[in-house]
Amino acid sequence: MDGNISGSSNGGDTMIDESNKVTFKKVTYGLIPLILLGVVIYVLFREGPLAIFQKDLPPVEELHVMRHSLAEDVIYLDIVNSGPDPCTLAQVMVRGAFWQHGVSPSRTLKPLEKARITIPFPWNIGEPIEINLLSSTGLSFVYEIEVASTSPVPTVKAFGRFALLGIYVGVIPVALGIAWFPFLRLLGRNTLGFLLYFTVGLLVFLAIDAVEEGLEVAEVLPSVYHGKALLILGIAGAYLFLLGLSTRRVNNKGNADSTRVVAWLIALGIGLHNMGEGLAIGSAYVLGEFTLGALLVVGFTIHNATEGIAIVSSILKEKVNLLFLVGLGALAGVPTILGCWIGAFTYSPLWAIFFLGIGAGAIIQVIEAIVGPRSRIENLAPLNLLGLLVGFLVMYGTGLLVGAA
């Protein structure tokens, strides 16, 4: 009887092992449907119904300018064919006149293919420039440079200037907010609860702000790139990644360490948001949309200083050293510098949308990490709700100051 049981067990193991083996027969059976599907798709596009209809319909052409840059007496346009059919650039008009230009690598662009247009033109600083791109079928695509200004060249000096700008609007304000840490530790329990939900109000505003900016960029992006879907991907990806990271860290550590995890997550979420902020600053400088005056720097300083309070609000009862606080400040503030560099030298609306989505998703997860473990009574306490409202209004008010700059 024992021998029969043993034989059945061995037989079962043999069957399991056989089913897990990769054989030529399995690979063949798996590839045949894929190959046939590829053939069907090829026939549909080349010889089938889709090709027949395309012969009777005019081509759908769409050229989109992704970025412009200006050098001395030269305009550069980076374009993409965002339509489903090939498109040939025939002529370029500048301020209503046909203008000499060059196109590299080719005038005929396949779908999603990119090219650079070089236009020798004696532009003047501060003046608008309207450019009209004409396809070989006569379609017109208008692009306007609102304020002409020389585009920064990636030199050591230029990197230093934009790094300094990122320090002014990101690193220093966050550090000033964290500098309130010793004072905040002296406050009573009710005040600490107020500050914690004040932090939630700040983060809610930042999340809404990031989503709003992402949607604005998605509106001007060619529909073929599905900008809103990319924004949602960034939000969901960052949220799920940080959720898994925080759950693992908190489960493996004690309560004291869990509050530090929340502090790191807050700093990371704010840092990702500030990277998006830096992208906007750098790209706006390139596009010449505003002058970086003293009021703008003051506005961002006030706006981002409150973020420092948000970072340390979860660790006010913990013993931490100066190096730990410096690390939190660097994580939240330094990405602003990176954002300024990307925005100034390699700005892409695709990256802008994705980074803004990541920032929003990270902040949403941080809000959940703060509010989730607390009881419903604590979350709905009048003083805490007041802190949430005040935090939101503070960010709203300082945001108005930035917008007025």
- Interatomic CA distance for residues 215 and 129, integer angstroms: 26
Full pLDDT tens readout for the chain, 405 residues: 444 444 444 544 444 556 667 788 878 888 888 888 888 777 766 655 555 555 555 677 889 998 888 888 999 999 999 888 899 999 999 998 999 999 999 999 998 899 999 999 999 888 889 999 999 988 999 999 887 877 778 889 889 988 988 898 889 888 988 888 888 888 777 777 787 788 788 888 888 888 888 898 888 888 888 889 999 998 998 888 878 776 665 555 545 457 788 888 888 888 887 887 787 777 777 665 554 444 455 556 666 777 787 788 778 888 888 999 999 999 999 998 998 888 888 777 887 888 888 888 888 887 887 787 777 887 788 888 898 899 888 878 766 765 554
- Would you say 399 and 303 are in contact if contact means Cβ atoms under 8 Å apart? yes
Domain ranges of the chain: 63-145, 156-403
**Complete DSSP assignment for 320-332:** --HHHHHHHHHHH
Tell whether the torsion through CA atoms of 292, 354, 64 and 338 is positive or negative: positive
Phi, psi of 89 (to 5 degrees): -80, 120
Assign a CATH topology to domain 63-145.
Answer: Immunoglobulin-like (2.60.40)
377 CB-contact burial (10 Å; exposed 0-12 / middle 13-18 / buried 19+): exposed
Distant-in-sequence, close-in-space partners of 155: CB < 8 Å, separation ≥ 6: none
pTM here is 0.67
Omega before 373 cis (within 30°)?
no
Q: What is the token pair recorded at 133?
A: 């791109």
